[in-house]
A and B are shown apart, each in its own frame.
Chain A
Amino acid sequence: MTTRLTLFVCGSLTAALLATAGCNPPGATTPAKGDTASAAAKTYVAPGEKDEYYLFYSGGHSGQVYVAGLPSMRHISTIPVFAPYPATGYGFDEESRAMLGRFTWGDVHHPGLSQTEGKYDGRWLFVNDNANNRIARVDLRDFKTRQILGPIPNSSGNHGSSFVTENSEYVLVATRFSVPLPKGRYADLSTYKTEFNGMVSGIKVDPTSGEMTVGWQILTPPFNWDLGSTGKGPSSGWAFWTSYNSEMEHETLEATSTQGERDYAAIVNWRAAEQAVKDGKATMMDGVPVIDPAKVPGVLYFLPVPKSPHGIDTDPSGRWIAASGKLQPVTSVFDFEKIKKAIADKTFDGEVRGVPVIKHAAVIEGEVPVGLGPLHTQYDGKGNAYTSLYVESAVARWSLPPWNDAQKKDLNTVISDKIPVHFNIGHLVIGGSDTKAPYGQYLVAMNKLSKGRHLSVGPSQPESSQLIDISGSKMTMLYEAYTEPEPHFAQILKADAIAPIEVYPKAENTNPQAVWEASQAGVTRSGNKVSVKMVAIRSRFVPDKIEVNVGDEITIHVTNVEQTTDMIHGLGIVEHDMNVVVDPGETKTVKFTATRAGVFPFYCTNFCSALHQEMQGYLAVKP
């Protein structure tokens, strides 16, 4: 009897334990395998074949821009912008050193391609530096950084950037941080609400050279301006930013700035701002005409949007503007026609510091319940919008207005698809989303966490990007790749939209220090200043002997006289922290002082030819 009972008790216990042991907790998702072969075929770019699109990733706090190809997702090259990059000798020669100024890093956030008539024209790529308030222009003719403007006066935290207007008249930028202005002025943090200000700036772009200058600025309350976009079509001449911290707090923002149910978006009439400056309605601050919107009506309006938004994106038609409050699970869609009307009719809900607040109810088209943690929206040009969902780790696809009555009644019905991404997506990009003519074929999800997706590389983790095919009725995951930290936004450009040069034509080299023949090369001395005109050619430097004295200031102008693609030479000087890389047809100048006696070899750092190893010389420094 006892034995039977004991057996019974033990049996039930074992059964219960077995039933609960080894279970996967519910919610664990098994990765969707999908049709691997077909996805692979879609991303396969055979050896020798080329990608269809360029993908320009912002490199975040690496300070650089990464160039990849789509659909292969292969990293092709890195364009150094805000940080030295020995691989291409950036930050060693005089020209790039002067551009970098006193900084050795930047925080690249949002690249913007230049546009003509609302379409990419393939001329320039603008990128901002959130850390040091700068903006840079990369020339797509040679993929080189050609200008760094800044630190921009009266601005701190150039995050709400780089938004290019329809004809690249301006790159519009806004401040993430507010400080007492003009910069350099001290005010106690407790006076944040009254003494600190943010700024919206119009960076004027020369239509021919692309040269940037600070055109004008609009003073704002100390809200933290975030992502924005420029208008087109009906919203031509306007630009939009969202802000967080309309509470104007300065401590523990994660709690204090998230109390209000709404934050303000800025609705900026940049053409009116331009005109106001022409009409002399601005006052100069630190050399820039600054508009006080309280005194110049018609330049700035505020629009309440859901709590702590992180972006506002104009659709390709220019009529619909989507803003997502990352702490509310909806994307608000505003109708710019209604905004225009509300402004004309003065349908305002009071004002904040003299800036009219547009009545939310008068301009909202609907709040689409896209999902948790909505951040940014991109468009495919076929009437669909794609919103990144940070918390949910997904991308939601939904259709833009006009919506029918049934849809308006339940906006869940406008959401047509949702695809999981891995993990915690920040930005997403569809080629041409910010133009009148998006490509609408691929979407790249830029995810903040890549954990567990790649071979382990220790605690420093790369970021993951995923390629999604959006051409069909359902989104399909095609591929994923990794980048170094940390892409924020990206731009996609059709490969045939540009035809970069691969050598600098000799005829274009106007550098007076350039030498093209060995006979012209040589060392000249004037006092303690030693000037070297050097030729680099397969496989030697001319001269390959530079004799100087300790204390001499040495300037080397090195010309790569090659006119053949990929025949790049580098000049690395041993123990001198010097590596300049010279492309075919290019002349670069390096300057340094001989501080120590000795003989220091220099050599070609960028492999050039069979006798690359022999391409060397000596810097002989006499005591």
Chain B
Amino acid sequence: MNARLSAMHRILDRPVSLAGRGLLLLGILLLVLGATLPLWRISLVAPQYAEGLTLDMYAYQIVAGNGGQDLAEINTLNHYIGMKPIAQADFLEMKVIPFAIGVFALLGLRAVMVGRIMNIVDLGVLFLYFGTFSLGSFAWRLYSYGHHLDPRAPMTIEPFMPVVIGSQQIANFVQTSVPLAGTFCMGAFLLCVLLAGWQSVREARRDLR
């Protein structure tokens, strides 16, 4: 057992392979790119909104369709059911996530320059946690918007959970949430980290043999 552990530690102490460093660098580029691209799209489609009302969630901003007008329209419609107006200022995540992405990019660059395999493990674990937490927080936001409805609103509807991924009917609207390019870039970053780790471990084993 001890032998296995020490073997693992020997591997974790090994430097990141050259190919791994290349992959990490690619991943970091994708991560930074992802931070500038929309992460998630929420769209609402009804007969009279055939072209759909859309909200694109970025790491740092909300961009509403129709030159920003869709957010005002969504909030106007939501006031009938007593939903709190959606406002970018309320999304603390949009301040935290850009900072976190900077941290991950720096940690990644450290691994590229002077990294050991252990750094890749740290990077992967932290990023996985960050990703899961962010998704969970996004889902919690949606839950809150759908559940904290003003009882004095003109229309009384059952509290509801807006769908996080996929589509569902809410009154006369079909609400759809889908991940966009930014999320795929983030995913690709994680993939790069994993592949860099896998490749480095393979090479470390070969060297140690």
Name A residues whose Cβ lies closer than 8 Å to a Cβ of B. 1-2, 5-6, 8-9, 12-13, 16-17, 20-21, 23, 25-29, 254-255, 258-259, 308, 327, 372-373, 391-394, 420, 422-424, 449, 451-452
Known: A9-B26, A392-B172. A29 touches B167 (CB 8 A): no
- Asked if B19 and A1 make an inter-chain contact with CB atoms under 8 angstroms apart, the answer reads yes
Q: Contacts A20-B180, A255-B154: A9 and B50 contacting too (C-beta < 8 A)?
A: no
Q: Are A423 and B47 in contact (CB under 8 A)?
A: yes
The complex places the Cα of A23 from the Cα of B167 at a distance, in Å, of 13
Stretch touching chain A among B4-12, B108-116, B187-195: B187-195
Known: A9-B26, A20-B180, A25-B54. 19 other contacts (CB 8 A): A2-B18, A2-B19, A9-B23, A9-B195, A12-B188, A13-B188, A16-B187, A20-B179, A20-B184, A21-B181, A26-B167, A26-B174, A27-B169, A29-B50, A255-B153, A327-B155, A392-B47, A422-B47, A452-B50
Q: Take A2-B19, A255-B152, A259-B152 as given contacts and tell me if A423 and B48 are in contact as well, using a CB distance cutoff of 8 Å.
A: yes
Quick check: is B142 within 8 A (CB to CB) of the other chain?
no
Q: Which residues of A contact B48 (CB under 8 A)?
A: 393, 422-424, 449, 451
In chain B, residues 155-209, which have Cβ atoms closer than 8 Å to a Cβ of chain A? 155-156, 167, 169, 171-174, 176, 178-181, 184-185, 187-188, 191-192, 195, 199
Chain B interface mostly: mixed
Most chain A beta-carbon neighbours within 10 Å: one of B23, B154, B171, B185:
B154
Closest to A389 in B: B172
How many angstroms from the CA of A327 to the CA of B82 in the assembled complex?
13
Q: In the bound complex, how far is the Cα of B187 from the Cα of A12, in angstroms? A: 10
CB-CB nearest 10 A-B residue pairs = A27-B174, A27-B45, A423-B48, A2-B19, A393-B47, A25-B43, A258-B154, A16-B184, A26-B167, A25-B52
Contacts A/B (CB < 8 Å), 28 sampled: A2-B19, A2-B22, A8-B195, A9-B30, A13-B188, A16-B187, A20-B178, A20-B180, A20-B181, A20-B184, A25-B52, A25-B54, A26-B167, A27-B173, A27-B174, A259-B152, A308-B154, A327-B156, A372-B171, A391-B171, A392-B172, A393-B46, A393-B48, A393-B172, A394-B47, A420-B47, A423-B48, A451-B48
Q: How far is the CB of B185 from chain A (nearest CB, A)?
A: 7
Docked pose: A29 CA to B187 CA in angstroms: 32
B19 lies within 8 A of A28 (CB)? no
Bound form: Cα–Cα A8–B185 in Å: 14
> With contacts defined as CB atoms under 8 Å apart, how many contacts are there between chain A and chain B in the complex?
98
CB-CB nearest in chain A for B203: A1
Nearest B residue to A19 via CB reads B184
The answer to whether B181 and A17 have CB atoms under 8 Å apart is yes
- In the assembled complex, the Cα of A284 lies from the Cα of B46 at a distance in Å of 53
Chain B residues, CB < 8 A from A1? 19, 199
Q: How far is the CA of A420 from the CA of B48 in the complex (A)?
A: 10
For the complex, give the distance between the alpha carbons of A20 and B156 in Å.
Answer: 35
Residues in A with CB closer than 8 Å to B153 are: 255, 258
B164 to chain A, nearest CB (A): 15
The residue in A327, A373, A420, A452 that gathers the most chain B C-beta atoms within 10 A of its C-beta is A327
Which residue in chain A gives the minimum CB-CB distance to B195? A5
State which residues 26-68 of B face A: CB under 8 Å: 26-27, 30, 43, 45-48, 50-52, 54
A27 near B46 (CB under 8 angstroms)?
A: yes
Q: Which residues of A contact B52 (CB under 8 A)?
A: 25, 27-28
Q: Does A26 contact B45, Cβ atoms closer than 8 Å?
A: yes
Closest to B45 in A: A27
Q: Residue B185 contacts which of A13, A23, A259 (CB distance < 8 angstroms)?
A: A13
Residues of the A chain whose Cβ atoms lie less than 8 Å from the Cβ of B172: 372-373, 391-393
Please name all residues of chain B whose beta carbon is closer than 8 Å to the beta carbon of A327 when the two chains form the complex.
154-156
Complex CA gap A373/B80 in Å reads: 12
Query: Nearest Cβ in chain A — how far from B184, in angstroms?
Result: 4
A5 partner residues in chain B, CB cutoff 8 A: 19, 23, 195, 199
A423 to B155, CA, bound (A): 20
Give the residues in chain A near B54, CB-CB below 8 Å. 25
Chain B residue nearest in CB terms to A13:
B188
* Smallest CB gap from A423: residue in B: B48
Chain A residue nearest to B47 (CB atoms) is A393
Q: How far is the CA of A555 from the CA of B100 in the complex (A)?
A: 86
Of the candidates A16, A28, A424, which one forms a contact with B50 in the assembled complex, judged by CB atoms under 8 Å apart?
A28
A79 to B49, CA, bound (A): 35
A392–B49 alpha-carbon span in the complex (Å): 11
Rounded to whole Å, the gap between the CB of B186 and the closest CB of chain A is 11
Q: How far apart are the CA atoms of A422 and B48 in the complex, in Å?
A: 7
**Minimal beta-carbon separation of B112 from chain A (angstroms):** 13
- Known contacts: A2-B19, A13-B185. The answer to whether A27 contacts B176 by CB under 8 A is yes
CB distance from A621 to the nearest CB of B (A): 56
Residues of A within 8 A of B192 (CB): 9
A233: min CB distance to chain B, Å: 36
A372–B47 CA distance with the chains assembled, in angstroms: 13
Given contacts A393-B46, A424-B48, contact A6 B176 (CB under 8 A): no
Given the known interface contacts A9-B191, A12-B191, A258-B154, the answer about A26 and B176 at a Cβ–Cβ threshold of 8 Å is: yes
When distances are taken between beta carbons in the complex, the residues of chain A under 8 Å from B47 are 29, 392-394, 420, 422-423
Find chain B residues with CB under 8 A from A452 CB. Answer: 50-51
User: For the complex, what is the distance from the CA of A493 to the CA of B179, rounded to whole Å?
Assistant: 55
With a cutoff of 8 Å between Cβ atoms, the chain B residues found around residue A420 in the complex are 47
Residues on the A chain within 8 Å of B46, using CB: 27, 393
Closest residue on chain B to residue A8 by CB atoms: B195
Q: Which residues of A contact B50 (CB under 8 A)?
A: 28-29, 452
CB distance from A44 to the nearest CB of B (A): 27
Point out the residues of chain A lying under 8 angstroms from B179, CB to CB. 20
By a CB distance below 8 angstroms, the chain B residues around A258 are: 153-155
CB neighbours of A12 from chain B (8 A):
188, 191
Complex Cα distance, B43 from A298, in Å, reads: 54
A422 to B152, CA, bound (A): 30
Of all chain B residues, the one with the shortest Cβ separation from A253 is B154
Q: Which residues of A contact B23 (CB under 8 A)?
A: 2, 5-6, 9
A25 touching B30, Cβ below 8 Å = no
